[in-house]
Chain A
Amino acid sequence: MDQRDAAWLRHQQSRWLRPDAHRWVRPDAHRFTVPGSVLADVFPALARKYNPDQPRVPAGNSDGGQWTDGSGGVAKPMGDVGFGNLAELEDFGALFQITPSETGPDGVQLAGDPPEGIGHNQGPPLDEPPEIPQQRPETRGERMNFVRSAVSWIGRVGRYSPAASTFLGALDQAEDLKALTDAIRTANDPPATLEELQARAQLPPKAGYEDHHVVGQFGQNRLQFGDDLIDSPENKVRLPTLKHLDINGWYSRPNERFGGLSPRDYLRGKSWDEQMSIGLEVLRKQGALK
C-alpha cells in the first residue's frame, strides 16, 4: 500500500470513529453490500443512529428525548466501530460519501459553480467528473473552464477520495495536460500557516505550486524597498498555482473597497507595513493562509 492509500485509509478510519460518522454513509449503501446481508451488521453505528425503535430518555428528564441504549443512560458516541465485511465489497470506494454535508476545515472552494443537487448540504455528491480533453484546450478560457470544473468536482468528492485519485491518474496519462493537471492536483490544498508557506518557498520548485511575494515585486516596490527585502524569505510564500493566479487576479481588478482602484494601484507608494497587512489579509481571506 503506498503512502497515499495509507493516508486515505487513516482519514476514513478517523471518520468512522466520529459520533457523526453516519453522514459519510450513502443513503443507498445497501446497494454495495453483499446480497442478503443486513446493513446494520456492516454498519452498527448507522443502525444505532437511525433505528426508530431505539429507546429515548423520558420527557421531563434533563436528558429527555435523547437516544439511550436502554440501560438508563444516554447513548455515548460510538467508540470502536468495526469495518464489518467491507473487504468483501466489490465497489469499496463508491460506498463512502467522501464529502461531508457541511464545509470542512480542510478544503477551500475556489471560484466556480456552487455545489448543487444532493451534494449541497443534503448528502453525497453523485455527479460525474468533467470530461478529460483529448488534447490541451486551445484557448485560455477553455483551459480555465476545464481546470475550474475539475477543481470544483474534486472539492465536492474529496481530494483523497478514490474517485479523485482515479480522475487524477487518468489526467496523468495525458502529457499535453501536465501543467493543468499539476494545478488541479494542488488547488484544493487546505490553508497553511505563514511559517509553512514561507518554508515551502525556500524549497526547490515544485510542480503545481508558484512562489508569491506578499508585498508585490513590481518595479516601484523594488525601488522603494530594495531587492533584499522584496526577495527576503519573510516576503515569499509558496501557493498552489491556481490560488496564486486567483490572488494575482484579485490584485489586478478594480475593487470597490479601494475606491475603484485595483489593490495593486491602491498600494503603490504605501508603507511596507500596510502592503504586508493587506497582502496577508488577502491570503487569509482567499483561503491560502490559516
Chain B
Amino acid sequence: MIENLVKQFLSVALAQYDAIYVLDNRKYNRLYARMQKIRNELKNKDGDQRRALLPLLSHPNVQVKQMAANTLLGIAPIPARRALEEVKASGIQPQSGDAWGMIDALDDGSFIPN
C-alpha cells in the first residue's frame, strides 16, 4: 500500500514536470491536488510514512526531487534541504528558482515545515 502511494507520488511529480514544461497550469493544479492527497495519506499512516519518499530525494528529475524534498522538510530536514540545494544548483528553471525561494524561506523563518 505504501509502496503504491510512493509510485503514485512519483508518477504525479513526473506529470507535473511535463505540465510545467508545456505551461499547462490547469493540469498542474489538478496534479498538485492529487499530490496533496497522497501526502496526507502517507502522513496519516501509522508512524507517518512520508519517510517512504526518502529515496525520491535522489531522483534525477528535478520536479520529483523538489516535491519529495518539500514533503520531507518536516521529518527529514537535512537530506530534504540537501536535495533542494541540488535542485537550486541544477539551474533548471523554474524548479531551480523555486527551490532557491524555499531555502531562503526556511532560512528567514517565513516557511516552517510540519
Contact = CB atoms under 8 A, between A and B. Distances in A.
A130 interface: no
A285 interface: yes
A172 B92 CA distance: 27
A148 B94 CA distance: 13
A144 B62 CA distance: 19
A254 B23 contact: no
Interface string B79-103: 0000000000011111111101110
Contacts of A144: 21-23
Given A114-B92, A257-B105, A287-B97, A141 B111 contact: no
Interface residues of A, number: 28
B56 to A, nearest CB: 15
A249 interface: yes
B75 to A, nearest CB: 15
Interface residues of B, number: 29
Given A253-B28, A257-B111, A285-B100, A145 B94 contact: no
B70 A140 contact: no
B105 A111 contact: no
Contacts of B95: 111
10 contacts: A108-B93, A111-B92, A112-B92, A114-B60, A140-B22, A141-B22, A246-B93, A250-B98, A256-B70, A260-B36
